[in-house]
Amino acid sequence: MERLKNYLLKNFEQLFVLLILCATVLVNYYIPQKLAFLNFYFLPIILAGYYLGQRKAVLGAVLCALVISLYVVLSPELFQTPHSLLDVFLNLMIWGGFLIISGSVVGRLKEKLDEKISSAEVMNKELERQEKELRRTNEALQDDSVNLEQKVRERTEELEQSKRAVEALKAKVEEALYATMDASVVKLMIEGRLRNDKRNVSVLFSDLAGFTTYSEEQPPETVIQELNRYLGEMEPILLAFHGHIDKYMGDGIMCEFGAPWDFETYRLLAVLAGFKMQEKVASAKYPWKMRVGIGSGSAITGLTGSKRQSYTAIGDVVNLAARLEKACPLGRVLIDRQTYEGVQQFVEVRRLRDLPDKDVSDLERERRLESLHTDLAAQPSNPKILYEIGRVHLELDEVQEAFSYLERALQLGPHDNAVKVAYAETGMKLKEMEKISVKGKRNRIEAYEVIGLKDPLKNREKIPERVYEEYHQVMDLIQVSDDVLLPVEAMDGSIGHGKVVALLSFAVATMLGMSESDKRELLLASFLADIGKQIVPYHLLNRKGRLATGEFETVKKHALESAKILRTMGYDSEALTETVLHSHESYDGSGYPDGLAGEKIPIGARILVVMDAYDALTSWRPYREPWERHAAFDEIRRGAAKGIYDPKVVQALGSLLT
């Protein structure tokens, strides 16, 4: 069958011509309706156009037309119709034209089809070729991919091992650094931000009295165990108040405040740390007592050493702190004048005798001075004691100090001739010294012993006496140690802020008729509302002037942090946390665009925000003096008129302060 098909396709042209001739002969010989059968010729012509092409189909159609025309000429009687012979020829012409057109159209279509088929075949061959190339390329890529994946896997494992090794080494280095240096210094070193500079700092020295005797009497392991226990209890206190532990000197500690972080309240942080250290030693019942000396002033801070480096402070202030520590009474904290000026708003002190700024060479006269100052403390208006102190200072060639005490003695005993003569002689000598520059002259250091922290609730400029008498006992309801809040308040010099706000909030809540349970929750919320300030950068807490928008947004986040801390402390009351969260929202909703406004703000939060503003205005800050009570209230009343505060709360505060 296939051979027959191939033969017909190969000899189709000859067979087609033969078929046309045979068909013409047969039609014209056997079929009488020759004109009607002329449509038969369209079939072979269409086939010719499809199989032989346009040219041969047209030639075939012309051949058919000529053959039929020849028949008409030779045998016209065979084509007789009711019409004339001219009409017959006209019909034949029309028929022949359509026949030719049919062959031409079909042939042209076939040629185009063949062209497209040829193009398609060429494209198919090209696609097959490309497919083979792609298959080969894909196979090659798959091989390479397998190899690459293996290489990447191996390289990744190598990098992971290297990374783990680097991280392990980094961890060991950091561990070694943290073991020998303060965490803040290590962090700055790693970040490349540690600088050598000159700044004002407070230096704290502490030392244990009797530890040497104790260590000689106890086994070594007991001594080390007790010493580590002692240092382990001192470290958290120093770090809580942002001190940099410079070094341990046996049982002694040297610590700087204000470096490497330049806290504005560095003197307050140092004194509070020293005071809390003494409290801890006393409560722990150690077999020894501690001395703490704190000096403030300018020092050079930075890394010292060649291969083994340490961050330390260098300057006279270091020697000053060490001297204060040596002169400090047991169980006390001794500070100098400059330190006192930075903490006098918050601590009670007792002025001690002035200390020599150099090593003592005349121990007998120094002991005599110490004895006389002890007598003076008991009899501060005794001119004879003042006269004796002046004479001893004069013998030590400390003319300025001698003149000061003799002047006080003369004021108390103006008729004492010995005092008059000594005062006159000292005055003349002082004038001579003012004309001549005396090198190596000894000076005295003003020394103050820290007695304790001032009670902020006893500030009558802020809290009226009757308010204190009526409400101060409610502070016993707060079962939270002051030590939790003290390091946070020390950062911006707001010592006692939590206590004052808590007491005033409780008093105003009472005036507004809140229930006892709600007042207790408000008391605790007011006391701890600012505990989240520890996340606020310290330079923003002590900023002079207005904060930028971004900085203000950072400061506002401390309310959310305070709420989180309260939850971690175990306070899960929703009313408590809601009060803290909304404790800085304005009454008209302008302060927090996404916050609450008006009566939708919890009543506790509306009270807290007013008390917070009042205490902030009437309190001393490192960057300004406190406002007078009535001036502060007038400012708050103007804030209420602007929609910042709840008018009912402001009115209640006004009634409380009058």
Q: What is the DSSP string of 200-227?
A: EEEEEEEEEETHHHHHHHS-HHHHHHHH
Do 643 and 590 form a contact (C-beta atoms < 8 A)? yes
Burial of 575 (0-12, 13-18, 19+ CB in 10 A): middle
- CA torsion through residues 86, 87, 92, 93, sign: positive
Residue with the bigger pLDDT between 224 and 555: it is 224
- Tell if the pTM clears 0.85, that is, is over it: no
Q: Specify the CATH class of 183-356 in words.
A: alpha beta
Burial of 366 (0-12, 13-18, 19+ CB in 10 A): middle
According to CATH, the topology of domain 363-442 is 1.25.40
Please state, in angstroms and rounded to a whole number, the distance separating the CA atoms of residues 383 and 405: 9
Architecture field, domain 456-657: Orthogonal Bundle (1.10)
pLDDT at 437 over 50: no
Q: What angle do CA 632, 634, 640 make, to 5 degrees?
A: 110
pLDDT (0 to 100) of residue 211: 85
Confidence of residue 436 (pLDDT cuts 50, 70, 90): very low
Q: Write phi, then psi, for 309 (nearest 5 degrees).
A: -105, 155
Do 509 and 604 form a contact (C-beta atoms < 8 A)? yes
Q: What is the pLDDT of residues 268-279, one digit of tens each?
A: 999 999 999 999
Q: What is the pLDDT of residues 467-521, one digit of tens each?
A: 999 988 988 888 888 888 898 888 888 899 999 999 999 999 999 999 998 889 9
Q: What is the pLDDT of residues 10-42, one digit of tens each?
A: 666 666 666 766 766 666 666 655 665 666 667
Kindly state the tokens that stand for 134. Answer: 């792609």
pLDDT at 434 over 70: no
Do 242 and 257 form a contact (C-beta atoms < 8 A)? yes
Beta bridge partners of 445: 355
Q: Nearest to residue 350, comparing CAs of 456, 446, 461, 268?
A: 446
pLDDT at 3 over 80: no
Do 411 and 318 form a contact (C-beta atoms < 8 A)? no
Confidence of residue 441 (pLDDT cuts 50, 70, 90): very low
Q: What is the pLDDT of residues 344-379, one digit of tens each?
A: 999 998 877 666 555 545 567 767 777 787 777 778
List all residues 6 or more positions away from 534 whose beta carbon is below 8 Å from its beta carbon. Answer: 487, 488, 491, 558, 561
Looking at the chain, the number of H-run helices and the number of E-run strands are: 26, 10
pLDDT at 5 over 70: no
Boundaries of every domain in the chain: 2-132, 183-356, 363-442, 456-657
